[in-house]
Structures are given as structure tokens and as C-alpha cells.
Amino acid sequence: MRFRVAVIGFIHESNTFTSLSTEMQDFRSTQYFLGQDVLAEFSNTGSEIGGCIDVAAEKGWSPDYILGAHAQPGGPVSEAARTEITDECLRRLKAGGPYDGVFVALHGAMVTETDQDGESQFLREIRTVVGNDVPVAVTLDLHANVFDELSDLAQIAVSFRTYPHVDLREVGREASEQLNEAMAGRRTPRIAVHRPPVLLGCDDGRTSDDGPMCRLLEHAAREMEAPGILNVAINAGFPDADVWASGPSVLVTYDEQTTDRAAADAVAGRICDAIWKYRDTWNGPVPLDECMRRLKSAKTGNGPVVIADYADNPGGGAHSDCTALIAALLDAGVENAAAGALLDPEAAALLAGHGVGAEVTLAIGGKTDPTVGGGPIEVTGTVMAVSNGDFHFEGPMFTGLPASTGTSVCLRVDGLDIMIVSERMQLYDQNILRVVGIEPAEKSILAVKSMNHFKGAFRPIASEIIVTDAGGLCSPDLSRRTYTRLRRPVFPLDPL
């Protein structure tokens, strides 16, 4: 039997502490594909939909590619953008149905202007078309904030197990294979959702440093050996969203034909207990002054010293235009160094207009909110390169997918090459710097705006890595934030 399966992606990680919102143009400038363009753009790529495409071909499905929408992390999704994407999805579902199953790639930490649980809001709309009896499989980011309602709207949930996220395609495959078994009637999957009373946990989900998340995932793998336990997903959560469910969660997908909800609850409870035991284990960033002290004594020559601007990570919804780290590097008189990607469309356009070779004095960065992470700094530099910003990912994340930083330039200020872009982009692929002629391996120092994803592409060439908190919006210092919707009590905000 050729199963008719709807394939959908609607992905956004929403930071509620920014004054910005995420609009339709933010999706169009990142990923917004419709119909057969989804198949063309995601085939053979390191993406969740890429994994689903693999399984669809192997199992002989008759897939209906609805849409693939993904915007860079930012503020809550505007109602105009949400309704445009949702309405397009529903229109195509109505035209293409009925379906035997639905595959949906989600993030898990989407907030919209009208719902703090954007994923359930979207799935509710899908259910109005496909009905309540069709199995739905979802994939989730490791940093999902999962609400209980998800278990009523989907039957299968599989989350990433790596951070940096290098297993997207594998996760898409796993969810699709589970969906195939459900459509064939060989399994009756259901989801149990649990969460510990924790806001910051699982060492932010890092699997790059052999820390607590690695031990938790080993525990989950052992639990999956029990009959009927199909998947155990551990989500580290996204504390940059002030929502009720912010923080770690455990999702157990189980088969009602071979086990029961009580067994799934017990599995989730044991993992939640383990998360609680690791609540004080946190491999956080160092202050900027300590970072600069360490840089002075760092050994170069076997690759660049990579400095990660943790708190201004656009991958967490930060502004990506903070200047504190760049200013500190210039004050230190660094040589053969590069930094990126600094968001400043105004400066990028001005410098591109002057052209390669021009010497320009201007203010760069710090324009979104000068009180966060350093305001604009005046520099005099030489335009080394100008680009439209188009590239393809070739590193371990999003392999093969197209992307763009918009009009982009390399401005050389003394010994520092600064990549200035028009579209926010976390620096987790070497090709991003190459857009403006910066060859990462040839630099002595690289400053990247990223929390942890950069390690996938840059750790292999780094002589040393320093992660610093230079005061951006995504600082892990919770004293800088006020939560009003978060469930309470919760660690570490309350005594427990």
C-alpha cells in the first residue's frame, strides 16, 4: 500500500526578551519553500525533511510536500506571518488530502503573538483538516520547550540528540520510520510528557564536551531497550523564552500494543530525576575580561584561537550586533584576526557602495539596543570584499542547504577583519566567512557569534576555544531577566 503522507516544516525558536518580532520576510530570507520546491531544496540535505524524503522513497510513500518554513531565531512570530504560513499549509492540505499520515518538522520553542505554545497552535490547525485519527509524527530541536498539549496532537516525537545539531537527517528518518509502522497498524504510538522543576539544566544540552547531556542520553538509550518504549527524547529547553513550559522536558513515545502509559511515565520520571541531579553542573561562558586574559596567554600556530560570543548568539534570538567583544579585540591590538557575523545592514550597504579598496570611517553595530552588549563603535577601515551573501552549508549542520547573509562586507580595521552582514546568521559554518573572502584556517584568532554550534565546523581547526559572555541578550545571567509566565517554583529561581 502506498501511504499518502503530508510533509511539512514550520520552524522557529522565539526569544521573548527581545523587542523585535519575526515577520514573513524573515522566513522568506531564510527558508520558505512550497510544494515540489520542498523536495528539490531538501533532498540529500542534513535536515529533518531530508530524512523524511529518504524514508518516503524507501517505503514507497506517495508524499505530498506542503511547505518548509524556517526563520532565524528572533522575537515571537507575528500574527501576520503565522496566519500566512498556516493558511497556505491548510489550503494545500485540503487540496491534497486525505492522508494516511503527517510528518511535521518543528522546533519546539516557537512563540507567536497569540500563543506561547506556537507548535500546538499550528498542530491544532492541521488537525482541523486531517482529523484526529491520522497519525502525526513530529521532530523537535534539542532546545524545545514542550507543553503537555503536544501529546494530544501528535503520536510520535523524536528530538535531536546532538548539540551542535548534526543528526537532523537521522532524526527525520527515525520519526518517519515510526510513522510508517503506525500507518501500517503494527504500532499504536502515544506520547508521555514530563518535566523536572528546572529552568536551566542538562548543561544546556551540550554533547560536544562529554558532559551531563551525554550521560542522560546514555540513560535514555538504556530505557529504550524495554518492550514498547519506542523513543525517549530529552530536551534541554530554551530559557530565552518566558513561557510556562520553558526548560528541560522528557518525551517518551510508547506503543500501546505492547506497553502502557504507566511504564512510559516511569521512564520519564527516572530521567527527570537524573536531570535534577545534574542541576548544578553547568559549563558556562567566562566574563569578557577573563576571556581577554586567556587570549594573551593562548598558544597559536596550530590553528586559530576561536572565541565564541555566547551572549550575542543569533541562534538564540540575540541581536547579533553587540560590539563589546570586537571593541576588546581592537583595544588589545590583535593581528591576523577575524570576527563575525556583525549585523548592521546600514553599514553593509554604505561600505558596499564605497567598494573594495575604499577607506571608510563609520559607526558599526550596537544599533538595535545600545544598552545590551555594547553600543555602536566608530572605526576606520578598508573594504576588503563585498558579496551578496549567498552560500551553501558544507559543514556538519544543514549540509547542502542554501542560505544567505544578504549584502555582506569584510572591513579590515587594523589587524581585525570584521564581517558585517545584512541578515542575522549564527557562525556555525566556515562557508559563512568565506562569503567575504575570510579563510578561517589562515587566521590566528576567530571571534564567532555562537554558543556551541560553532564547534561542529570550527573545533577541527581550532588550537584553543574560549567561550565568553560579553553581555548580549542571551547571557545566562538570569538576574537580567524577569519571568512572568514561567511555571513556579523552578530551579534556580526559587528555593526547592
Q: Which helix (H) or strand (E) holds 270?
A: helix 261-277
- Are residues 225 and 317 both part of a single domain? no
323-376 residue pLDDT tens: 999 999 999 999 999 999 999 999 999 999 999 999 999 999 999 999 999 999
Residues 339 and 462 in one domain: yes
Contact 193, 144 (CB under 8 A): no
Residue 222 shares a structural domain with residue 349: no
Residue 91 region by backbone torsions, left for phi larger than 0, else alpha for psi between -120 and 50, else beta: alpha
Answer yes or no: is 214 within a domain: yes
493 found inside a domain: no
Would residue 235 count as lying in a domain?
yes
Per the domain annotation, does 66 fall within a domain? yes
pLDDT at 484 over 90: yes
Whether residue 116 sits in one domain with residue 168: yes
Number of domains within the chain: 2
> In this model, does residue 229 exceed pLDDT 90?
yes
- Tell me the pLDDT band of 1, cut-offs 50, 70 and 90: low
Domain final residue pick, 277, 306, 339 = 277
Alpha-carbon distance values, 161 to 51, 95, 99, 218, 360 (Å): 15, 35, 29, 10, 46
| Residue 25 belongs to some domain of the structure | yes
412 and 463 in a single domain? The answer is yes
Statement to judge: residues 16 and 162 lie in one domain: yes
pLDDT class of 102 with cuts at 50, 70, 90: very high
Domain boundary among 277, 309, 339: 277
End-of-domain residue from the set 227, 243, 277: 277
Q: Does one domain contain both 22 and 151? A: yes
97, 208: one domain? yes
d(Cα 492, Cα 137) in Å, to the nearest integer?
A: 33
Q: What is the pLDDT of residues 182-215, one digit of tens each?
A: 999 999 999 999 999 999 989 999 999 899 999 9
Domain-embedded: residue 187: yes
Average pLDDT over every residue of 136-147: 98
* 8-36 per-position pLDDT tens digit: 999 999 999 999 999 999 999 999 999 99
Same domain, 204 and 320: no
pTM comes to 0.93
Instruction: Write the pLDDT tens digit of every residue in 232-269.
Output: 999 999 999 999 999 999 999 999 999 999 999 999 99
217 band by pLDDT with thresholds 50, 70 and 90:
very high
- Among candidate residues 69, 54, 55, the one with its CA nearest the CA of residue 104: 69
Looking at the structure, tell me whether residues 273 and 290 fall in a common domain.
no
In this structure, the answer to whether residues 315 and 413 fall within a common structural domain is yes
Which domain, by its residues, includes 191? 4-277
Same domain, 291 and 358: yes
Residue 487 is assigned to a structural domain of this protein: no
Establish if 315 belongs to a structural domain.
yes
